[in-house]
Structure 1
């Protein structure tokens, strides 16, 4: 089955969230919130979220694993959505304001596979950190 852009974005978020071997409740809720709120997901049937997540797990556990999943997802995205793909992946990993080494490595791999300049990716990362900050104290 050919991947569509919605599924590709969701699969990249799921991999970002689970790249440290666990998907926290905060990360899952963030994925659901992004799918429900962002204009890029207009027209996506939210009832399919579990189906997309299961397809993601199957692909990760199959031949080619992470590299194949990322290549297929990126190939399914129009070029103008590559920054969106990076932004939603960063958004999911930044939700707890602490990135594990595996999450950082996944974001680095994704950055390398996407056709984005370093200034764009840095701006996306800084904006995500700023959105998730809490008041001190």
Structure 2
């Protein structure tokens, strides 16, 4: 990853990283990413066609040594502090989309939470909210 991404691109990188954290790019997670990009105000004006190139860039970066650290540091550098919780919430949404959060996803969320300095109570509220939304009958 050579250029500094835009704020929106950084958020997509975070979501894509969460999607592939367990080495399984689940269709339901990709659908969740597209839905979030389509509907959330933070993505207003974002070109949905950018999702594929960003996903490819994310995959290339993750394949490099320390790629996960690079993605997290890039996100922290690109995002204003007021969007740190937003980035964490988007990652939690993607992890929750397939209802089963695997150990790799949980580890990534922990790394994001720490790097972005998301307060414990805020993180717990974000996580609880996602669990409630994705419950099944």
How many residue pairs are counted as aligned between the two chains?
135
Contact 2:26 2:98 survives alignment (8 Å): no
Contact 2:99 2:135 survives alignment (8 Å): yes
Q: 1:42-82 CA distances to partner (integer Å, 9 max, x unpaired)? A: 01111111111111111112243110111011110011100
User: How high is the TM-score relative to the length of structure 1?
Assistant: 0.95
Inter-partner Cα distance in structure 2 for 1:76 and 1:63: 21
User: How high is the TM-score relative to the length of structure 2?
Assistant: 0.95
Inter-partner Cα distance in structure 2 for 1:80 and 1:99: 26
Match of 1:65 in 2: 67
Inter-partner Cα distance in structure 1 for 2:119 and 2:4: 28
Q: Tell me whether 1:74 sits opposite 2:76 in the alignment.
A: yes
Contact 2:7 2:79 survives alignment (8 Å): yes
Once the two structures are TM-superposed, the CA of residue 104 in structure 1 deviates from its matched residue by: 0.6
Match of 2:46 among 24, 39, 44: 44
Q: Structure 1: 5+ residue runs without aligned partners?
A: none
1:1-137 equivalence runs, <5 A: 1-135=3-137
Once the two structures are TM-superposed, the CA of residue 125 in structure 1 deviates from its matched residue by: 0.1
1:52 alignment partner, SS class: helix
Contact 2:16 2:55 survives alignment (8 Å): yes
Inter-partner Cα distance in structure 1 for 2:121 and 2:74: 25
State the superposition RMSD in angstroms: 0.9
Q: 1:70-129 CA distances to partner (integer Å, 9 max, x unpaired)? A: 101111001110000000000000012211111111101111101211000000000001
